[in-house]
């Protein structure tokens, strides 16, 4: 183990024991389960903010895995609502249950030790695991139910979502999308990548952290503000900075 990795793991354990605050009362959302740990810029996974912002910069950032997963990317309004918690820090999202090839956004892994293991194998941008399902260590951890204690399922991306995001990132004529917010400086959305979920055979309830900022919706002319205590499940795409 390198000295840098040893220090990082010690910090993880310390924050896990002493950093848990009121957000831990609503259940396990992160490892360590402290929003203060993730909000600390020393632990950001990209220059744009914490892991739960769900920042996508390159296609390779989405590493392929296999197995059951929750798909929350289309959640927000009915019939797959994301309902804000009373404190506004999380939202409970209704998602679909899927099985097969799926993609984990490497910069949005909210278990810090697993994140370090995964970038050690795949590279910080995920390129070392591109096109090879289950090479990324996070895949095995998810399949074995060890990413977040108590989670029956973990939210990731489907191949269709990965393809749509890839087209938006790389095509000069991308598919329709809405750049949010269109007028206000910031709006809330939830980053559901690697969020913990309870599940039945066909549907899942996932608890996703809220981030205030810019995000995209893979629909044309979508309403950025849903109202009625609902928020979009979304991500931040670096291409938004050029819009």
> What does the pLDDT look like over 4-22, one tens digit per residue?
344 344 334 333 333 333 3
The two tokens of residue 21 are 């605050």
Three-state DSSP at 133 gives coil
In a domain, 57, yes or no: yes
47-75 confidence digits (pLDDT tens): 999 999 999 999 999 999 999 999 999 99
Residue 22 falls inside a structural domain: no
Q: Determine the pLDDT at residue 174.
A: 80
Rounded mean pLDDT, 207-225: 93
**Residue 183 binned pLDDT confidence (cut-offs 50, 70, 90):** confident
Residue 148 belongs to a domain: yes
pLDDT tens per residue across span 135-181: 999 999 999 999 999 999 999 999 999 999 999 888 778 888 898 98
Is 21 inside any structural domain? no
Position 7 in a domain:
no
Compute CA distances 232 → 71, 186, 223, whole Å. Answer: 13, 13, 10
Domain count, the chain: 1
Residue-range definition of the domain harbouring residue 151: 28-239
**Per the domain annotation, does 14 fall within a domain?**
no
55: three-class secondary structure by DSSP: strand
Q: Is 195 exposed, middle or buried (0-12, 13-18, 19+ CB in 10 A)?
A: buried
Whether residue 18 is contained in a domain is answered as no
């Amino acid at each position: 183990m390198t000295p840098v990795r040893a220090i990082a793991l010690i910090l993880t354990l310390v924050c896990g024991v002493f950093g848990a605050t009121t957000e831990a009362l609503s259940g396990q959302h992160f490892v360590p389960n402290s929003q203060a740990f993730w909000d600390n810029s020393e632990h950001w996974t990209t220059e744009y903010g914490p892991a739960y912002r769900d920042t996508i910069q390159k296609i390779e950032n989405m590493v392929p895995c296999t197995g059951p997963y929750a798909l929350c990317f289309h959640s927000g309004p009915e019939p797959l609502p994301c309902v804000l918690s009373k404190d506004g820090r999380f939202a409970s999202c209704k998602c679909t249950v899927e099985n097969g090839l799926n993609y984990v956004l490497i910069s949005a892994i909210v278990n810090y030790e697993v994140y370090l293991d995964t970038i050690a194998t795949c590279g910080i941008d995920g390129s070392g695991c591109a096109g090879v399902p289950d090479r990324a260590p996070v895949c095995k951890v998810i399949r074995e139910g060890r990413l977040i204690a108590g989670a029956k399922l973990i939210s990731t991306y489907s191949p269709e979502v990965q393809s749509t995001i890839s087209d938006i990132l790389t095509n000069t004529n991308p598919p329709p999308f809405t750049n949010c917010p269109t007028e206000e400086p910031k709006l809330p959305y939830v980053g559901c990548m690697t969020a913990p979920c309870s599940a039945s055979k066909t549907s899942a309830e996932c608890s996703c952290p809220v981030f205030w900022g810019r995000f995209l919706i893979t629909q044309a002319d979508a309403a950025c503000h849903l109202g009625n205590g609902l928020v979009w499940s979304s991500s931040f795409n670096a291409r938004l900075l050029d819009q």
